[in-house]
Chains A and B, each alone.
Chain A
């Protein structure tokens, strides 16, 4: 079945780095734009970044620009998020999501928790 599974979350100190991964299955990964979306504890949804199907087009939210890098490996059906210079306000559940042709997010992973704390 169509599935996205995130991994790589954990506890990291302020200023540290973490790399999240998202493994896709059940669909042709290389056909779709993919995105990272996060949700701080008790808060709403915040879009982080998306990447085009080929990887040639990338956009970031202002809150992470210059610190986070999204990438993908279509041969491995995988999406990544390299997070550097982490701050306390980056603490959140990070979801990977598939973007449908209508710019909606039609498939979501279960999320991976990132906690930035000393």
Chain B
């Protein structure tokens, strides 16, 4: 099973600041890496698929990069609605795993 490790666990930032979230895989997942945003009491929402493609309706301030084992989600300038938990996810060898999540909180 491929393990996804997200860091940091918590990111404390102010609106307008840049957020950089990391996801590291225990072995290569090529570019089959997705990112999700989840707010309290809501289902997750797909932000990025295939490492760097924004999902439909996702603002341009969200961007993804990386391949192989190291991936990054960047939020260029935090809006108030961006404070949430973010998860990465991969599917490899027919099995799916999620990272443990990064909480982006208001500083």
Residues in B lying within 8 Å of A, measured CB to CB = 1, 32, 34, 36, 38, 43-46, 49-50, 53, 55-56, 87, 89-91, 94-101
Contacts and interface: CB of A to CB of B under 8 A. Distances in A.
Contacts of B44: 45, 95, 105, 108
Contacts of A27: none
A44 B3 CA distance: 14
Where chain B touches its partner, the secondary structure class is strand
Interface of A: 35, 44-47, 50, 59, 61-62, 95, 100, 102-106, 108-111
Contacts of B50: 102, 104
B46 A104 contact: yes
B66 to A, nearest CB: 15
Nearest to A96: B43
Contacts of A111: 43
A109 B43 contact: yes
A44 B95 contact: no
Nearest to B93: A59
9 contacts: A44-B98, A44-B99, A59-B95, A61-B95, A102-B49, A103-B91, A104-B49, A105-B34, A109-B43
A90 B96 CA distance: 18
Contacts of A104: 34, 46, 49-50, 55, 89
Given A102-B34, A102-B50, A104-B89, A47 B45 contact: no
Contacts of B55: 104, 106
Contacts of B100: 44
Nearest to A98: B46
B96 A100 contact: no
B101 A105 contact: no
A47 B98 contact: yes
Contacts of B90: 103
A105 B32 CA distance: 12
A102 B98 contact: no
A104 B43 CA distance: 14
A100 to B, nearest CB: 6
A100 B48 CA distance: 12
